[in-house]
Amino acid sequence: MFSNSFKTDVEVMAPVFHLFPQEFTWDNFHTIFVGGDVEVPIFRWIFNSFFVGFAATFLVIVLDTMAAYALTKLDLPFKRTLIALFVGSLMVPGIISFLPQYLNFSNLNLINTYYVLILPYSGGALGVFLLIQFFQSFPHEIIEAAKMDGANKWHVFTSVLLPSSVSIVTTLAIFTFMGVFNDYVWPFFTVTDLEMRTLTAGIAVMATGSFVQSYGKLMALATLSTLPTLLIFLIGQRQFIQSITATGVKQ
């Protein structure tokens, strides 16, 4: 993909594949960023992808951490039943809820808005399940010591649990952002305005439209869509490794 993004369309379609371009060219990226015969709102697509990704990740972190805290450390009625429902929902294929969600957003006139791109990701149960496993292994004695020092439930959550769960929260944030940023089906069908497209949906539009035979330009677009998630994973890999190590530590 990276190599083909610097090749001409003729060389990309050549019967003999060369790992390195025989005729190196920047024309594919020049067309995407500067424009040419085809206008590609690449900067708007990149902004949309990052905005949707960060907004959805923020909502997931806030909602999932609070839900996991309530289900593990607070006295709630039917706690076991609620946890079983969260775990059970992971077995339901996401495509089953696709049409009901689409109809709900359509009835609310939220198609072609940022709401339809952000809100569906904020109700996932996977993050709650991961955080429940971590919070359950957190020493209860530390929480009791904090309460003896005068900490209320909110202070225990914000000052004790959250600082100790940076690694697992970072891992959840990485997975969430990568999932939202790379999602294709939901943004493709819920947004029809070209300016509101995310990067992945925009690539799909160009692949079936103006760039249907311009494989070099498509590979350049694919390269651009890959770099952000790759960089975020590289930046957060230390926390990711720490979270894997922490899940194996017993009290």
pLDDT of residue 251: 45
The CATH code of the domain at 3-249 is 1.10.3720.10
Place of tokens 């109809």: 103
First-to-final CA distance of the chain: 46
Tokens of 250: 């017993």
The domain ranges of the chain are: 3-249
d(CA 61, CA 101): 22
List the one residue out of 90, 163, 95, 93 whose CA is nearest residue 127: 90
List the one residue out of 111, 226, 77, 96 whose CA is nearest residue 218: 226
Q: Which residues of 99-121 are buried (b: 16+ CB within 10 A; e: fewer)?
A: eebbeebeeeeebbbeebbbbbb
pLDDT surpasses 60 at 249: no
Confidence of residue 38 (pLDDT cuts 50, 70, 90): low
pLDDT of residue 250: 45
For 71-115, write each residue's pLDDT tens digit: 888 888 888 888 888 888 888 888 888 999 999 999 999 999 999
For 120-177, write each residue's pLDDT tens digit: 988 778 888 888 888 888 888 888 888 888 888 888 888 888 888 888 888 888 889 9
